[in-house]
Amino acid sequence: MNQSPYEIRKCLYCLKPKNHLLRKKKGFKSDFTKEHVMHDALLPREFTDAPTLVGRICGECNTNNFGNTIDRELTRSGYEGFQRYKAGIKPTSKLNELKQGGLGFGVQPPGMDEYIPANVIHKDDQGILTTKIEPFLLVYSRRQGKKIQIKLSDISTINSLAQKEDLDLEQFTFGTNGSEADDQKLISALKAQGIDILASISETQPSALLITEYAPSSEMIRALAKIAFNYFALICEKTEPSVPLMSDFDEIREFIKSGTEPAGVFFIMQGAGLLRGNVGDHSAVLKYSDDSSAPAVIVQVSIFNCFTYSFVLSRQPRSANFPEPQAHKWDLKKKRFGRIPLNLLIPTSER
């Protein structure tokens, strides 16, 4: 009697029992696909031991529910999508795939303390992503009692704006990328409106550029929650693989699949990475809340070590079959995955 090459397993997300092919066999196909814990589009191609889940997530969920929806949103928008190009993981020749939403940029013009909103243009500079601001003017508005910004593309309206805002057209501050060409663009645009100035005030000093606003979309948060849940499932492989299938994780599972948010606070975003130091590695940590009034299974994920996303996967006390708290790093320079001491993580606020 021939033994079946299949084992019946439940998918981590749809919970449907399906056929997992234990070993390759001609004429047989598994209902499950290999799933990278950290989306492989966030890793260099040469990454040697990126952890994967095998026989845990079915092909239908992996491709139809995630691959073409929330995973694509994560890798093509927001800070994470932007950083793929900065880190050289995605070639700049594909910049047309990067969505502009989700990120807000600010500039600090020469002589000013505060940052003001700026329009930016991402360019491919010989294979390196460069982000340039649209040159602008700062002109004092007597009506508002402060300087207001006029972008290069809006200088054609400066005369009508001068009447409305009672502008002081005797003084200008230029916001540029630090090139004389930017200054000349502003000077020429002003001359076209009958305003003649002798030289730029900026003296080609670049305006400091900073990401000043970040509002990840719901799809991105779901994709990040999937990384957190995948990470938890990976750790459970060595203790008890059935733990992530428990009904206690149904709320986070449903959020990842359909966007239905769990009751109460389940997600917190912080503007700091998990790892100490200014590095671009990915990291994740499993921790528990031992507060008897608010127990929780928590996973924190930090992509490119800039923002930290904390997810409550379950609101139950830690049980004996749950893995111990631990942390891992995806080292993007050495292209290796490994466990790291918890004391290398920066302190983060608890619920």
**Closest Cα to residue 283, out of 262, 300, 295?**
300
d(CA 251, CA 315): 10
pLDDT one-digit tens code per residue, 210-268: 888 888 889 999 999 999 999 999 999 999 999 999 999 999 999 999 999 999 899 99
**Closest Cα to residue 270, out of 233, 227, 300?**
300
* In the block, residue with structure tokens 């084992």: 7
Structure tokens at 152: 């290069």
Q: Using pLDDT thresholds of 50, 70 and 90, give the confidence band for residue 118.
A: confident
- Give CA 61 to chain center in angstroms: 22
Structure tokens at 292: 């008897």
216 contacts: CB under 8 Å, gap ≥ 6? 78, 79, 102, 224, 269
**How is the chain split into domains, by residue range?**
6-74+215-344, 103-212
> For residue 167, what are the CA distances in angstroms to 45, 109, 171, 172, 324?
54, 19, 9, 10, 64
Least confident of 15-19, 65-69, 278-282: 65-69
Structure tokens at 316: 């139950």
pLDDT one-digit tens code per residue, 271-305: 889 998 777 899 999 999 988 888 999 999 999 99
Give the pLDDT confidence score for residue 327 in this predicted structure: 96
Whether the pTM exceeds 0.85: the reply is: no
Q: Using pLDDT thresholds of 50, 70 and 90, give the confidence band for residue 77.
A: confident
* In the block, residue with structure tokens 């942390």: 327
Check pLDDT > 90 for residue 80. no
Mean pLDDT of the chain, nearest integer: 87
**Closest Cα to residue 335, out of 139, 107, 92, 46?**
46
